[in-house]
Structure 1
Amino acid sequence: MSQLPVEQELATLREQLENWNYQYYVLDDPSVPDAEYDRAMRRLTELETAHPQLLRPDSPSQRVGAEPLAGFTQVRHELPMLSLDNAFSAEELGDFNRRVLERLKLPPDTELEYACEPKLDGIAVSLLYRDGVLERGATRGDGTTGEDITHNVRTIQSVPLRLRGSGYPALLEVRGEIYLPKAGFEALNARAREQGEKTFVNPRNAAAGTLRQLDARLTAQRPLQMCCYSVGLYEGGDLPVRQSDILDLLHEWGLRINPESEVVQGFAACDAYYQRLAERRDSLPYDIDGIVYKVNDLALQQRLGFVSRAPRWAIARKFPAQEEMTRLLAVEFQVGRTGAITPVARLEPVFVGGVTVSNATLHNSDEIERLGVMVGDHVIVRRAGDVIPQVVSVVLEKRPADASAVEFPETCPVCGSAVEREADEAVLRCMGGLVCAAQQKAALRHFVSRKAMDIDGLGDKLIEQLVDRELLENAAGLYTLDKPTLLDLERMGDKSADKLLDALEASKSTTLERFIYALGIREVGEATARNLAQFFGSWEALAAAPEEKLLEVPDVGPVVADHLRQFFDDKAIMAVVEKLRAEGVHWDNVEVRAAEELPLQGETWVVTGTLESMGRSEAKNHLQDLGAKVAGSVSAKTTRVVAGPGAGSKLAKAEQLGVEVIDEAAFLALLAGHGVAP
């Protein structure tokens, strides 16, 4: 076969297969039987195998990678992927419409044009096309930084590897939602049950787990879909001036958009659209948790701008939290890291908000008293925010004659130690400390967590086994674990054991503030640990500090100072700390600078909006290093405000109070002037 006919046949096959993909996955209108598609794909693969020099990365045969990735890399969004404000009622949606009209200085009876679409319950992602070819796929992450999931995105049939037609910008970022249709979710769980594997709790979790697969071949086995809802960054071309027209154009270029999307006129039509979709919610082939409304005119969007991390021109009206009635079978008590004993409701299983709920939090004795709940009661269970199950009320008319009061334990339900409740707290605490297995496990989970010692591979199941088998009493014991001990644990293979031992070794080199935080001292979070490290500079100085010296540390009051002093005075705890250091855990001491040497000492700053060069937490850390206090709200005591794009109410408050406001460029210049390199 000559070279030219091969190239022509390859081009024909690729075009044909992409057309069939578009008709099947985007238009929902298949034009050929599966057998014909399979024959064409097989022929394409044969030709590309025989002529590897003609293989192209956007070929339909290249949707599935050959080798798994070692891990995910971070992707920084050049334009932040903002979240949406929520409305939970028609009144709140009406308030949104009123605010839009007021900001646009339009009469209150103006009926604006809104683009409406179902809010898919999936994972927000960004697709980057360069010259029409898919270059990168990334998760939303925190809005500024996500994860590179290109290898998985390429397996999704409704995501074109090359855009169709012409006229698209040279650089085009498309944003949308990746989700798992209900039918695919049911099939996935059915297969898992047949193979004796764990099932997924809902389609969103299944989609999220699928996108985090390092092996794209596994992703390809799950029928993910992508629906586009907007455009982010674009260069080298123009786009329409209406949101709905942009979506139509994306559809022409081969991307899937939601067929339920509509353009309506005015608030009343927005509410009617919501009611229609709410009635059809259960019959849709995918999960939705609300409706998204966007001002359709992009020029008006520009005028409306942003507030905080959300646009002023869009809102999501959420469906009501789904509630169900079930029976409270028992109340059990869990013991946390600090000894706090929390009541947990054991329920007759009930399907709420897409999952089967059998447990719910009761928080503490005050909450139980407020609810008036008794064992045996029928209760209303809600998944707050569609995430956390909670008991919200008791159906008193269905209370059985044999209902019994909830009795709190007189001793720790795990170790039998005495329990105490401080006068100003609603929480009951186990006083067993290190002898309590539950506290040991919780303390170890905290110690190994990402923001503490960051020991990858040491999950809850392993910690459970190590404590239950009495192989581990405290954090110091982690560094005495050896390979034979690890291999004796369930689900621990040779490679996993090696990786865990490597992670333990790597964690020995840490920072003083991380180490302080990892110890789990009561009321000492990340910020306080940082302040303690910067104030004292060394562990020795901190541990020896009297209570009055501790009170000089920013954000340390009498309660925290008392907790710290009790911690340092406990000989058993200090023995564990010394053992950790003897096993090689180390850090560099922090240079202690007198308060008067810190250039921003005594100043109060606020960071608002989105910064392009760093996250707000990083900006906060830099300011604290220079001596500033960073507040969450603007007041007359605020010294200065750093305002990035999307700054809203805090910026307005600063301007109202006459507080100095600087942009990101001025902030970076200030940091550089004090020797801080972001």
Structure 2
Amino acid sequence: MTTNPAGVLADTAAYAAAVEEAKRAAAAYYAADESVLDDDAYDRLVRGIAAYEEEHPQEVLDASPTGKVAGGAVSGDVPHTVPMLSLDNVFSAEQFVTWTASVERRIGRPVAAWSVEPKLDGLAVAVRYRQGRLDRMITRGDGTAGEDVSHAIGTVLGLPERLAAPVTLEVRGEILMTNEQFEQANAVRTEHGAAPFANPRNGAAGTLRAKDRPYRVEMTFFAYGALALPDSGDLAATLDALPHSEVLEYVAGLGVHTAADTAVAPRTVTSVEEVQAGVEDIAALRASLPFGIDGIVIKADLAADQRDAGSGTRAPRWAIAYKLPAVEKVTRLLGVEWNVGRTGIIAPRAVLEPVEIDGSTVSYATLHNPADITRRDLRLGDHVMVYKAGDIIPRIEAPVAHLRTGEEKPVEFPGVCPQCGSEIDMSEQRWRCTRGRDCRLVASISYAAGRDQLDIEGLGATRVVQLVDAGLVQDFADLFTLERDRLLALERMGETSTDNLLAAIETARTRPLSRVFCALGVRGTGRSMSRRIARHFASMDRIVAADAEVLQQVDGIGKEKAAAVVTELEELAPLIGKLVAAGVNMTEPGATPPPEPGAAQEGGADGREAAGLPLAGMTVVVTGAMTGVLAELSRNQMNELIERAGGKSSSSVSKRTSLLVAGEKAGSKRTKAEELGVRIAAPEEFAELVESCLALDM
């Protein structure tokens, strides 16, 4: 992680202009729940102001955001019993080390322990309970007083109306929208004619303050601290003496959500090096979290260390926010491209004014479907909030509507397929060319031949184009009827390459059902879902015969997806018939067919054959580079192996993880497993555990 350089302000005029811009941005962000600047731009602006003020202390303006909670933009009418301060920021390991040294100089001794926890991207609130009953919710405001938002009680998950004990206290934390809640909120808002929220943070803030809406949307609360109220009795002395980590445990015991309920539970460590490791681990999980974080909070854990370090007017001196690189920026929507996928789906893609996010330049973003463009009211020329995390494809969250100039133009939707000019099926949210897979035949065949499907070595896109142009294949089933003489007649197809290709196709004929089903490219399914379907039904004829109700017995298939899969399989029936006629394997090794209707079934769909398997009932995560007999297996093949051995594969470590298979350079997942007490196995040990299933053809 590198330091974000602060903007340099050249003179008094530049400083005054920067203060005015920061004032406007803070007012929009904290008071109006709008985004004039993204977080990264605002942080750089304030750092530039602070640097100028340090050099020119005699020129500091009263309107400056430095030293003020919420940039001085908001206030409230409900006094806080104890000031509700903001946090100062650091942006690099070097800055963090400097800060810790300053804390230890202030208290005159090393800090005994540090708490490391995610910095949740929501709205800070103080929640007061009296005799165990939820009584009042108050925003941070200016730190001394906040706004009463008690009208939102009942819409926030994680805040029980009654605690597990009849205590009187104040719990402080963040109210946010998870990614799922954000999508649901925008769907509800647009149904009622309101503009979509720009991002989850604005959504939570706007929803929390709103009164008398004709609809309700959910939010979630996570506590980061608690303190006694004047009438808390003996609890005051207890809370004042507890370490921060134990305060959170106490609050969780009362039934309030804390970050311990997530995949990024707070940890307590004793050295700066361990703090940095915790920062790296939480940062690595950022892309997979179901809610936004913009940093990591580090706090002195012991009450004595906090008391001796003290607090300033804006922030405590015993806590700091280690900010992560921005994953959200504002840029302009320049255009929309319409691309056709391998199954004929017509997918819009946003063309953006290039912007740097999370260390890379983003010029494109996903736009789910035409209905999504309409729902978000996106227009060409709009300023849009773009989000990117890890390797996830950037997405547009919403237009920044208050920045519109009136020159924006509607997005034009295609009238015919952009690829082949055929008609478009607009009956569903995702539009599709009426020719379906035939529209992108090369892409469809290339996908089927890919490593995680049929794994036909030597059949790249160039070779597929050659076969299609020669009229030798019209779908991937035709690959299994290719003749040697006809292949030899093609350009650049000598005897060796021809024989190698035919041998690879012959091997592909024996792939397990899960691979064959995945090769079909059924919409709404992928590698993991294909494995689950194949394990459940054991044979293709049972899958094809299943109706929507039966398909819903498979983990992860709901009513809508089941109906879509049935429809898709009906469309694919001729292709499946050709595959059967060509002798392609249509069974899943090691899987047990489901019982006939009315027959007794023990353990559910996943448990009928798992009981005797080595990983029965276990959730397994694989990380690092495999060695030994597992070295040649791809991650997809490892997941196949786990599921054939009766287990469930997962990509992240949590309390529900039964086993972590840790190869070389296992990294943060191993650390997380050690903290949670999850069993860890080396690749060689795991190979011995599942030896009976390794014999099955992968």
TM-score by length of 1: 0.43
TM-score by length of 2: 0.42
